[in-house]
A and B are shown apart, each in its own frame.
Chain A
Amino acid sequence: MVIATLSTALDFLATSHTHTHVHSHTSSSSSSLSGLREVIPLLFLLTGPAFYMYQYRRYRNQDKRHHHERETVSDIANVQAADQYSRSISGSRHSSMSSSNEYEVRG
Chain B
Amino acid sequence: MPTQGYTQPSGVIPRDQAVEVTPPGQFGTATWGDVNRAREAERNAGYGPGEAPVVTYDQHDGAQVIQTGSDRADGLNKCPRCGATDIAFDVKSGQLVCRYCRFAWTEKNAAEEFDLNSPISGLQGRQIGSGSGNIIPSVNEVVSFRCSACGAEVSIDTNHAVQARCHWCRNKLSVNEQIQNGAVPDVVLPFSLPKAEAVARISEFVAARKFFAHPRFTAEFSPENVMGVYLPYLIVDFNSSVEFVGVGEHTTRSYDVRVSDDRTETRYDYDEYQVARKFDLYIDDLTLESAADKRDFHTDRNTNNIINSIMPFDTKNAVRYDPNYLSGFTSQRRDLDVDAMEGPARLQAQDVGRYRATETLQFYDRGVRWDRQNIEVRGERWVSAYLPVWLYSYYERKSSGRELLHYIAVNGRTGETMGSVPINTTRLWIATGVAELCGMAATFASALVFWR
Which of under 10, 10 to 19, 20 to 34, or 35 or more describes the interface residues of A? Answer: 35 or more
| Chain B residues, Cβ within 8 Å of A58 | 209
Q: Write the chain A residue with the least CB distance to B281.
A: A76
Tell me the interface secondary structure of chain A in the complex: mixed
Tell me if A78 and B269 are in contact (CB < 8 A): no
Q: Write the chain B residue with the least CB distance to A87.
A: B272
User: Is B264 an interface position by the 8 A CB rule?
Assistant: yes
User: With A38-B451, A81-B277, A96-B367 in contact, is A59–B209 under 8 Å at CB?
Assistant: yes
Which residues of B (317-356) have their CB < 8 Å from a CB of A? 344-345, 347-356
Tell me if B270 and A41 are in contact (CB < 8 A): no
Tell me if B351 and A100 are in contact (CB < 8 A): no
Q: Write the chain B residue with the least CB distance to A92.
A: B268
Q: Which of B212, B306, B369, B422 contacts A61 (CB 8 A)?
A: B306
Tell me the interface secondary structure of chain B in the complex: mixed
Say how far A3's CB is from chain B's closest CB, in angstroms: 6
Interface string of B144-172 (1 = CB under 8 A from A): 00000000000000000000000000000
User: Is B118 an interface position by the 8 A CB rule?
Assistant: no
Among A27, A34, A58, A64, find the residue whose CB has the most chain B CB atoms closer than 10 A: A64
Tell me if A99 and B420 are in contact (CB < 8 A): no
| Chain A residues, Cβ within 8 Å of B428 | 52, 55-56
User: Is B4 an interface position by the 8 A CB rule?
Assistant: no
- Give the distance in Å from the alpha carbon of A55 to the alpha carbon of B429 in the complex: 11
Q: Which of B251, B284, B300, B432 contacts A48 (CB 8 A)?
A: B432
Tell me if A101 and B305 are in contact (CB < 8 A): no
Q: Which of A41, A56, A95 contacts B450 (CB 8 A)?
A: A41
Residues of A whose CB lies within 8 Å of any CB of B are 1-3, 5, 9, 27, 29-32, 34-35, 37-38, 40-42, 44-49, 51-52, 55-56, 58-62, 64-66, 68-97, 99-107
